[in-house]
């Protein structure tokens, strides 16, 4: 069996404003009907794959849990990183976890935010590559370039190892345009897809040889970990001792056991709006209009809108992205610089870098509809069988109006069952809880009013999800 190790970190800043810190790009339906995380789960579902081992950060743990629940997938382990340390420490932790029971277990390391068009072809390539991995090669997967791309690292292949794989001659950093064109002409260079296959023990042996501080910190963080519901929390102090380094720098560029196997399918890391544009169907003038959008007399313009109607006329080479709270406009050739916009806004304290108007919780989600002086209106959706914490507020009262479904409401000493068009009032200081006892999502409107309506005015008395 091959154990999928799914890395789900980062904040996807280059795809802001769709991607944000609390709900980055892998959890959003960016390309296709499902999120990229869901597509990754589907890609490694069933034989010959074992249940996945998932590594994510603390803030995203319930997003991961909901993705697993929605797609009826049971993970072998969900490891929580206390802080980001790049890919090498995360992969080392996964290897140590697998080596506890089977040091020879093959681990397929995947990012949760890649698009791979042909899942069947991908599985076939992984199976073919498993022969090399079983011979203690550290396999990385490459993509045959179809254009002189400067946004990816490259791998130059060496001698053939078997019908599908080659020794790695060398890794190459992201090139300039001239070098990228040279690599395309040469034919022996692949884009580095950042996907790996090796045995847990082979990987640990090579990390110990070239980056021992990585494996030491990873093992210490795992050894001192604590169980939290369905999650395994790595020890923060121990894990923080690991250097922030990628698996490429820590191992793959130094080992003589590296092999490269080319993928036989279209692949993208969706690293910018321009790369998403490449994956989209354009009209005869090169325009892409996704969502409520109209493009007239324009060339090579990309529009993605979640809510407002966006109309463009007489423009060229523009990216326009609209959510319900942000509009982004920039030239196509500067889409890699969205991260700079994000960083600037984040430094200035804009909440729009952190969360969407829709905020996801383990019980469902809420959307902020209208905010004003001393009030906030929300739409709340509670999943079937889920319930919020028993809580109270020091500074605000709440009015709940049920729109659809059945609500079981604890309001002080009362327990109420409310249906559509029924409501209740929660006074300041009253302990209260909202539950959905039904089989369908519960929808309601909440109106908060008071002297302070921040999310930190929540005192949890009891919580199913272990939040303090």
Q: Is residue 467's pLDDT more than 80?
A: no
| pLDDT at residue 33, as a whole number | 80
Task: Give the residue among 225, 255, 284, 198 at the shortest CA–CA distance from 93.
Answer: 225
Instruction: Band the pLDDT of 370: cuts 50, 70, 90.
Output: very high
Q: Are 197 and 2 in contact (CB under 8 A)?
A: yes
User: Which tens digits make up the pLDDT trace of 51-79?
Assistant: 999 999 989 998 999 899 889 999 889 99
pTM of the model: 0.90
| Domain identity same for 260 and 111 | yes
| pLDDT at residue 123, as a whole number | 95
- The answer to whether position 220 is within a domain reads yes
Total domains present in the chain: 3
Instruction: Band the pLDDT of 162: cuts 50, 70, 90.
Output: confident
Sequential DSSP letters for 9-48: ----GGGTTTSBTTB-GGGS-SSSSS-HHHHHHHHT-STT
User: Which tens digits make up the pLDDT trace of 81-108?
Assistant: 999 999 999 999 999 999 999 999 999 9
* Residue at a domain's end among 315, 346, 377: 346
- The answer to whether position 85 is within a domain reads yes
Q: How far is it between the farthest Cα atoms of the chain?
A: 75
- Dihedral over alpha carbons 410, 416, 419, 421 (to 10 degrees): -80
Instruction: Band the pLDDT of 466: cuts 50, 70, 90.
Output: confident
| Domain identity same for 109 and 239 | yes
- The answer to whether position 278 is within a domain reads yes
- The answer to whether position 468 is within a domain reads no
CATH number at residue 387: 2.60.120.10
| Domain identity same for 69 and 6 | yes
User: Which tens digits make up the pLDDT trace of 126-138?
Assistant: 999 999 999 999 9
Average pLDDT rounded to a whole number, residues 27-32? 88
If one compares 361 and 93, the residue with the highest pLDDT of the two is 93
| pLDDT at residue 368, as a whole number | 93
| Domain identity same for 73 and 208 | yes
| Domain identity same for 223 and 131 | yes
Average pLDDT rounded to a whole number, residues 315-323? 97
Q: Is residue 415's pLDDT more than 80?
A: yes
* Residue at a domain's end among 205, 235, 268: 268
d(CA 380, CA 89): 38
| pLDDT at residue 145, as a whole number | 92
- The answer to whether position 97 is within a domain reads yes
The side-by-side arrangement of strands in the sheet containing 358-361 is 358-361, 364-372, 375-382, 442-450, 396-404, 423-426
d(CA 338, CA 64): 26
| pLDDT at residue 11, as a whole number | 80
d(CA 348, CA 73): 40
Q: Is residue 455's pLDDT more than 90?
A: no
Mean pLDDT of the chain: 94
Instruction: Band the pLDDT of 468: cuts 50, 70, 90.
Output: low
* Residue 451 token pair: 């002297």
- The answer to whether position 351 is within a domain reads no
Share of the chain above pLDDT 90, in %: 86
| Domain identity same for 171 and 41 | yes
| Domain identity same for 307 and 256 | no
* Residue 7 token pair: 């890395």
d(CA 106, CA 111): 16
| pLDDT at residue 169, as a whole number | 95
| pLDDT at residue 205, as a whole number | 97
Element (H, E) at 240: helix 236-240
| Domain identity same for 128 and 30 | yes
Residues sharing a CB contact under 8 Å with residue 249, sequence separation 6 or more, in sequence order = 88
- The answer to whether position 321 is within a domain reads yes
Backbone φ, ψ for residue 183 (5° rounding): -60, -40
Give the residues across from 402 on adjacent strands.
444
| Domain identity same for 132 and 229 | yes
Using the 8-state DSSP alphabet, how is residue 307 labeled?
S
Q: Is residue 357's pLDDT more than 80?
A: yes
Return the exposure string of 426-464: e unless at least 16 CB atoms fall within 10 Å of the residue's CB, then b.
beeebbbbbbbebeeebbbebbbebeebeeebeeeeeee
Range of the structural domain that residue 297 is part of = 273-346
Average pLDDT rounded to a whole number, residues 461-466? 85
| Domain identity same for 89 and 235 | yes
CATH number at residue 17: 3.90.550.10
| Domain identity same for 187 and 243 | yes
d(CA 9, CA 433): 32
* Residue at a domain's end among 268, 297, 316: 268
| pLDDT at residue 70, as a whole number | 87
């Amino acid at each position: 069996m091959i154990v999928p190790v799914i890395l789900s970190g980062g904040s996807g800043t280059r795809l802001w404003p769709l991607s944000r810190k609390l709900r980055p790009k892998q959890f959003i339906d960016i390309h296709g009907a499902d999120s990229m995380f869901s597509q990754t789960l589907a890609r490694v579902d069933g034989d010959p794959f074992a249940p996945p081992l998932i590594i994510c950060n603390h803030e995203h743990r319930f997003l991961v849990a909901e993705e697993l629940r929605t797609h009826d997938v049971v993970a072998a382990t969900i490891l929580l990183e206390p802080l980001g340390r790049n890919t090498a420490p995360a992969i080392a932790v996964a290897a140590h976890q697998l080596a506890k029971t089977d040091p020879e277990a093959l681990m397929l390391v995947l990012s949760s935010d890649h698009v791979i068009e042909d899942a069947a072809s991908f599985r076939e390539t992984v199976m073919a590559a498993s022969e090399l991995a079983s011979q203690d090669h550290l396999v990385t997967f490459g993509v045959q370039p179809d254009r002189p791309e400067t946004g990816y690292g490259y791998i130059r292949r060496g001698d053939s190892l078997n019908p599908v794989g080659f020794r790695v001659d060398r890794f190459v950093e992201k090139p300039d345009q001239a070098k990228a064109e040279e690599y395309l002409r040469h034919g022996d260079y692949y884009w580095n897809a950042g996907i790996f296959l090796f045995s847990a023990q082979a990987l640990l042996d090579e990390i110990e040889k070239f980056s021992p501080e990585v494996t030491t910190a990873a093992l210490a963080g795992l050894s001192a970990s604590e169980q939290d519901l369905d999650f395994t929390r790595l020890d923060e102090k121990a894990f923080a001792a690991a250097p922030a380094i990628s698996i490429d720098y820590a191992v793959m560029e130094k080992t003589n056991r590296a092999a490269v196997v080319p993928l036989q399918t279209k692949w993208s890391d969706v690293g910018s709006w321009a790369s998403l544009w490449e994956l989209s169907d354009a009209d005869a003038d090169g325009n892409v209009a996704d969502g409520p959008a109209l493009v007239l007399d324009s060339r090579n313009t990309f529009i993605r809108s979640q809510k407002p109607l966006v109309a463009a006329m007489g423009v060229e080479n523009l990216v326009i992205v609209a959510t319900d709270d942000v509009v982004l406009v920039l030239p196509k050739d500067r889409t890699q610089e969205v991260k700079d916009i994000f960083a600037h806004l984040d430094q200035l304290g804009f909440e729009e870098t952190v969360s969407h108007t829709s905020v996801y919780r383990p019980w469902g989600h809420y959307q902020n509809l209208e905010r004003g002086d001393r009030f906030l209106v929300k739409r709340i959706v509670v999943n079937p069988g889920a319930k919020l914490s028993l809580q109270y507020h020091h500074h605000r009262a709440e009015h709940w109006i049920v729109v659809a479904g059945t609500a079981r409401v604890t309001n002080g000493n009362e327990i109420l069952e409310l249906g559509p068009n029924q409501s209740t009032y929660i006074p300041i200081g009253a302990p209260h809880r909202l539950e959905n006892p039904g089989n369908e999502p519960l929808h309601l409107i909440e109106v908060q009013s008071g002297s302070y309506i921040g999310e930190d005015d929540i005192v949890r008395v009891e919580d199913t999800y272990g939040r303090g």
